[in-house]
Structure formats: structure tokens, C-alpha cells
Amino acid sequence: MADAGWLSDIGQWVEKKCRANFGLSCLDARTGTEHYQERLLGPCTASLLFADGHIYATDERGKTAVVVAGKTFQVLAMNELGEQTLASMAVCDNDLLIRTEKALYRVGRR
């Protein structure tokens, strides 16, 4: 598991804004100081998922982003499933479960 030391402070980071276009914000919960605010995806319904030091997000068009959790905005990956995706992702063992309009995907390492 990645170091989550940035979570240990009382001023935890609050991350997510979901409007017509998905923007990801990182704020100090104690002071309100904004570290970043970036446009990330299109319209979204699903909740963010935090796992293994990363934030996973998906928009309604099936585009998925993986962002490093922390004070600096860093996108690790962007992927497209090509199907409507309204459900939040889930974790099973060390894999991600992603439900789209037509399928259920299990994504992991072999």
C-alpha cells in the first residue's frame, strides 16, 4: 500500500467537485487552503474511489482517470470503456470492479 502520510494530519485533504464537468479539487480541510483545482472528466454520477494511494474517478461516458492522492495534481492514467458508466467503482481483493451499461469489468494485475 502506498504511503498515506498526507492523511495523518488533522487537516486531511478533501477531494471532489462534480458538476456539469468533473473537476477535482484538493483542499486542506482545516484551513480551506486550495492546493489545486483541475478539470478532469465530463459529467459524472459515480463517487470517487480511494485505494492504494490513488483516486479513481469515472464519468458518465465511461472515461476513467487515476490520480495520485496528494497536494500536487498528477494524473497517472486515463482510460475509456466506451460505454455509459453511472455506477461507482468497487474493490474486490486487489482488483477494481467497474459496471457499465452493458458489462461488469474486473481490472487487476495478473
| Beta strand spans in 1-110 (E) | 13-18, 22-28, 34-41, 49-51, 54-58, 63-68, 75-80, 90-92, 95-99, 104-107
Q: What percent of the chain has pLDDT over 70?
A: 80
In angstroms, the CA 101 to CA 71 distance is 34
pLDDT exceeds 50 at position 37: yes
> What counts of helices (H) and strands (E) characterise the chain?
0, 10
**What domains are defined for the chain?**
5-82 (2.40.10.480)
pLDDT at 21: 61
Cβ pair 65, 54 in contact under 8 A:
no
Query: Rounded to the nearest 5°, which phi and psi values hold at 58?
Result: -140, 145
Q: What is the pLDDT of residues 8-21, one digit of tens each?
A: 433 344 444 444 46
In angstroms, the CA 2 to CA 13 distance is 16
